[in-house]
Amino acid sequence: MAKTLTAMIKLCLIELGVWVVTAPAYASGYHLGLQSVTAVSTGNAAAAEAADPTTIVLNPAGLAYLEGTQINGNLFLIKPDINYNHARGTFSDGSAVQGPQSGNISNTVQAVPQAYFSHRLNEKWGVGLGLYIPYAAKTNDSSHSVMRYNVNKTNVKAIDINPTVAYKLNEHHRFGVGLIAQYLHAEIQKYADFTPVGSSIAGVPTSILHQTAPGGFDARGTVKGNDWGYGFNAGWLWDINPDVRVGLSYRSKINHHLRGTARWQPVGAYAKKYAPLFDQFGYKPIEAAGVQITTPEVVSLHGMWTVNPQWKVFGNVSWTRSSRLHDLDIKFENNKSIDQHHGITSDTTHIFTNWRDTLAVGVGASYQQNSQLQWRFGVNYDQSPVRSSSTRLSTIPDGNRWLFGAGMKYDVDKHQSWALSYTYLHIQRTHMRQQDQGMHVSSNVLGEANYRSYAHIFGASYNYKF
């Protein structure tokens, strides 16, 4: 019984542990770059423009171009769809997980607000403050889905506080630097299978119980954690001549050590009955859990060409050091029995993600129809950090992405302007076939599914200049 119970609990903990780690990584893998309505409408290619206080994120040197005191607010409404089909789950006994084999884990509208402030101190110096959300992800799957042991529900949000300062060296060169304080909160929920408990007590093989009592041994796990991390961003802009500007920006890595609690709630009738047995093997109903996560460095090279008074052309190339997410270790408060027969214990779940560094390329343009109305459009191609289906996790069904943006900007008067944007994000269809292995807290359960993901994004911004 002890060996069977240990195997069952290993399954539960690895699956919950995956959620502790990959919820922030999911936001990183699906990072949309929604910090500026005016920028996203050009395919995020307009970092060199420095048109409003959102330059704090795109290139902080741009603050040295802004006049007076400005307040800028952005609101994005995101309608994502992450559909899966032909899903399969295979327990360690070779039996199949029962339930619907298709679903949508993210189809609710999400609101992402951003706020910025800039102030010109004098001819040389400018300062600013950005409050924005770089990562936000929300997923929710059916409790009866065949994927319920891999994906169920997550709610992740990061908030950056980014004070900046910029300096105008001369008519050609401007420099900027900012500090970043990032608060990351994650709430994750998933289901786990306790069928081996019934097998050990009743003497009935788990493969039979999986077919005759599906869901009867289910439990729901919820993890909440948060942390503050710190980094910086910097930028340089060079006006080569009145018509051509180039720039370079850098965003540093940010280290996070998420700390929180793992809570277990039996929901199946049999799981409720036998859950108290877990404690003696180190699996507490409530315990602390943590994981170290480093968000990657980003280097961007961008340019702007003023073709004539009506047309501007933008370009941007960004390199992201996504390979920092090579693997992840989840640390639990208590040692777990992973091999009762040999007395082997562990307090760690090791996940091998093997992400790669990525490039994103964007091109866009703006057309000034008259003194008040400007049209904007652009496209961006972004590589996925996931190398293959064998390292693609169910919470990161990411693929290479195309972002198509369009929008307009309207100057009401010399103080006020509005901007609107629509963006379609297309993610290539992907396949996940992943199995954890090794002498650590791991389930060794094979999961497989096909994914089709996309998003409609609507943006609106208001800028006021004093």
**How high is the pLDDT of residue 13?**
32
For residue 313, what pLDDT band results from cuts at 50, 70 and 90? very high
**How high is the pLDDT of residue 239?**
97
Return the minimum-mean-pLDDT range out of 308-312, 337-341, 349-353, 388-392: 337-341
**How high is the pLDDT of residue 32?**
55
Q: Does 202 or 118 have the greater pLDDT score?
A: 118
**How high is the pLDDT of residue 194?**
76
**How high is the pLDDT of residue 260?**
87
**Residue range 209-220: mean pLDDT, rounded:** 82
**How high is the pLDDT of residue 11?**
33
What is d(CA 89, CA 433) in angstroms, rounded to the nearest whole number? 10
For residue 6, what pLDDT band results from cuts at 50, 70 and 90? very low
Q: What is the mean pLDDT of the chain?
A: 85
Residue with tokens 């169910």: 394
**Residue range 195-206: mean pLDDT, rounded:** 78
Spell out where 149-206 has E strands: 153-168, 173-193
Which is nearest to 148 in space by CA: 100, 96, 210? Answer: 100
Residue 1 scores a pLDDT above 50: no
**How high is the pLDDT of residue 54?**
96
Return the minimum-mean-pLDDT range out of 202-211, 370-379, 407-416: 202-211
Q: List, in sequence order, every residue forming a beta bridge with 70; answer none if it has no partner.
A: 118, 465
What is d(CA 79, CA 90) in angstroms, rounded to the nearest whole number? 32
Please give, one letter per residue, the 3-state secondary structure of the chain.
CHHHHHHHHHHHHHHHHHHHHHHHHHHHHCCCCCCCHHHHCCCCCCCCCCCCCCHHHHCHHHHHHCCCEEEEEEEEEEEEEEEEEEEEEECCCCCECCCCCCEECCCCCEEEEEEEEEEECCCCEEEEEEEEEEEEEEEECCCCCCCCCCCCEEEEEEEEEEEEEEEECCCCEEEEEEEEEEEEEEEEEEEEECHHHHHHHHCCCHHHHHHHCCCCCEEEEEEEEEEEEEEEEEEEEEEEECCEEEEEEEECCEEEEEEEEEEEEECCHHHHHHHHHHHHHCCCCEEEEEEEEEECCEEEEEEEEECCCCEEEEEEEEEECHHHCCEEEEEEEEEEEEECCCCEEEEEEEEECCCCCEEEEEEEEEEECCCCEEEEEEEEEECCCCCCCCCCCCCCCCCCEEEEEEEEEEECCCCEEEEEEEEEEEEEEEEEEECCCCCCCCCCCEEEEEEEEEEEEEEEEEEEEC
For residue 25, what pLDDT band results from cuts at 50, 70 and 90? very low
For residue 120, what pLDDT band results from cuts at 50, 70 and 90? very high
- The answer to whether 382 and 362 have CB atoms below 8 angstroms apart is no
Whole-prediction pTM value? 0.86
Question: How much of the chain exceeds pLDDT 70, in percent?
Answer: 91
**Residue range 304-331: mean pLDDT, rounded:** 90
**How high is the pLDDT of residue 277?**
73
Kindly give the residue spans of alpha helices, DSSP state H, lying in 30-153. Answer: 37-40, 55-58
**How high is the pLDDT of residue 350?**
77
What is d(CA 399, CA 392) in angstroms, rounded to the nearest whole number? 10
For residue 7, what pLDDT band results from cuts at 50, 70 and 90? very low
For residue 19, what pLDDT band results from cuts at 50, 70 and 90? very low
**How high is the pLDDT of residue 341?**
61
Return the minimum-mean-pLDDT range out of 161-175, 258-272, 274-288, 379-393: 274-288
Residue 21 scores a pLDDT above 70: no
For residue 339, what pLDDT band results from cuts at 50, 70 and 90? low
What is d(CA 225, CA 202) in angstroms, rounded to the nearest whole number? 38
pLDDT in tens, 250-296: 999 999 988 888 777 888 888 888 777 767 777 788 888 888 888 88
Q: Strand, coil or helix: what is 210?
A: helix
**Residue range 96-123: mean pLDDT, rounded:** 90
Residue 230 scores a pLDDT above 90: yes
Which is nearest to 351 in space by CA: 313, 403, 395, 417? Answer: 395
Q: Does 35 or 172 have the greater pLDDT score?
A: 172
Q: Does 341 or 63 have the greater pLDDT score?
A: 63
**How high is the pLDDT of residue 311?**
97
